[in-house]
Amino acid sequence: LVTVAIIFEYGLFGTISIVIIWPITIGFIVWASCYLKGLSKSRRFTINKDFIEIVVPHKPTFRIKWSEFDSIVITKRESMSAVPSGEGVILGPKFVYFSLTFKGKNADRSYEFESGKDFKVRSRKKMVIALEQHAKERGKEFIGYKWKDKRKAKKQSNNL
């Protein structure tokens, strides 16, 4: 009824606006639902005496036993989407990825997740701290990335 009222009230301008606005609105809703799909599903990061397990929707479950590796290496990778244009390249939003590499005698296994999408920033920090503590308890080498959080960096320097 509202659509019909707009057409009669505003004539051609109302008809054109409906033809343009409705598809854009519906397209945005479809895009948002596809992009945000799975964000409300639960994620799980489990450390126990036998294994480490990471469960994220839309990715295979990652599980590794403590006996399968000798060291943990965490690397941070920033990625920007580049969009070519007539005047050059326009840089899009920045994505931050973290890679957990478990190095063993025979083989290396790694797991990469997107910070903010797969795990919240606060959860990611807790995960890294827990991994570091459990690795030290089990005599595994832990190599992490440099913290930008000044409080954490200060706390780590005081512990040394």
| Residue 81 backbone phi and psi in degrees, to 5 | -80, 130
For 21, the domain range is 2-35
3-state secondary structure of 157: helix
Residue 10 and residue 55 share a domain: no
Alpha helices in 36-160 (DSSP H): 121-137, 150-159
Residue 91 and residue 27 share a domain: no
Q: Do 69 and 52 form a contact (C-beta atoms < 8 A)? A: no
Q: Summarize pLDDT for 74-83 with one digit per residue, the tens.
A: 888 877 766 6
3-state secondary structure of 95: strand
Residue 151 and residue 134 share a domain: yes
Residue 53 and residue 12 share a domain: no
Pairing outcome for strands 51-55 and 62-65: antiparallel
pLDDT of amino acid 114: 82
pLDDT of amino acid 65: 92
pLDDT in tens, the chain (160 residues): 455 665 666 667 667 777 788 888 899 999 888 777 766 677 888 998 899 999 988 788 999 999 899 999 988 887 776 666 667 666 666 778 888 899 988 888 988 888 777 888 888 888 888 988 999 999 999 988 765 555 555 565 555 4
Cross-strand partners of 119: 115
Residue 107 and residue 56 share a domain: yes
- How many domains does the structure of the chain reveal? 2
pLDDT of amino acid 95: 77
Cross-strand partners of 98: 76, 113
